[in-house]
């Protein structure tokens, strides 16, 4: 299975260089948000058929919100959302556009062999 993570600051259209695993790996889970200064992120996981190095088709997209208090090294990770309407609500138009372009350029053949329901996630409104 092929997979790739894109981690966006919530309002930005270009992902960070770090993945969700890299940024949130050594953080403690927050029990509540009282007294925390949280930065909001959107973590996008794209899955596909193929090898770890090369996809043959893109199959699934999952999105979750994640929050991090950099100073206290505490985080809140929400569950992954995989339903189309949830994904469309969480991602900005610019993030959808970035992801669509990245997938099309990264492996045009995998993009073309992906089903319509996957392509529909990236429609701009």
Instruction: Return the domain boundaries, the chain.
Output: 2-120
Residue 9, pLDDT above cutoff 90: yes
Q: Mean pLDDT across the stretch 56-82?
A: 92
Q: What is the DSSP letter of 67?
A: E
How confident is the model at residue 36, as a pLDDT? 87
Residue 65, pLDDT above cutoff 90: yes
Q: How far is CA 7 from CA 15, 51, 102, 116, 123, in A?
A: 5, 22, 14, 24, 20
Band of pLDDT at residue 62, cut at 50, 70 and 90: very high
pTM: 0.91
CB-count exposure of residue 110 (10 Å: 0-12, 13-18, 19+): buried
């Amino acid at each position: 299975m092929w997979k790739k993570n894109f981690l966006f600051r919530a309002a930005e259209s270009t992902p960070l260089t770090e993945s969700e695993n890299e940024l949130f790996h050594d953080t403690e889970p927050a029990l509540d948000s009282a007294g925390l200064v949280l930065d909001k992120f959107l973590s996008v996981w794209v899955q596909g058929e193929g090898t770890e190095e090369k996809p043959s088709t893109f199959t699934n997209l999952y999105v979750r919100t994640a929050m991090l208090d950099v100073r206290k090294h505490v985080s809140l990770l929400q569950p992954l959302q995989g339903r189309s309407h949830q994904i469309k609500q969480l991602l900005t138009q610019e993030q959808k556009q970035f992801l669509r372009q990245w997938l099309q350029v990264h492996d045009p053949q995998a993009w073309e062999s992906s089903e319509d329901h996957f392509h529909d996630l990236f429609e701009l409104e």
